[in-house]
């Protein structure tokens, strides 16, 4: 498997995991789950970019 295919697979898996987490957070917390999901997603995005001074 080439590196490009591995990266594409990991990206698609991360989107599926994000969708499941969104559904779970909304079903547990209601409308507040969307806000929680967006905040956690922003934090994860900042950490994944390696920019730890964004806050």
Instruction: List pLDDT tens digits, range 13-31.
Output: 877 887 888 888 888 888 8
Alpha-carbon distance of 19 to 41, in angstroms, equals 11
Total domains, the chain = 1
Q: Residue 45 domain-assigned?
A: yes
pLDDT digits 0-9 by tens, 31-42: 888 888 888 878
- Nearest alpha carbon to residue 42 among 55, 32, 31: 55
State which residues form the domain around 14. 3-49
Q: Residue 55 domain-assigned?
A: no
Helices (H), the chain: 3-29, 31-49
Q: Residue 23 domain-assigned?
A: yes
Band of the pLDDT at 1, cuts 50, 70, 90? Answer: low
Band of the pLDDT at 51, cuts 50, 70, 90? Answer: low
pLDDT value for 53: 58
């Amino acid at each position: 498997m080439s590196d490009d295919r591995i990266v594409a697979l990991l990206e698609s898996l991360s989107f599926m995991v994000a969708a499941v987490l969104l559904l779970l957070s909304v079903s547990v917390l209601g409308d507040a789950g969307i806000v929680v999901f967006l905040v956690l997603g922003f934090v994860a995005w900042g950490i994944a970019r390696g920019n730890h001074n964004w806050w």
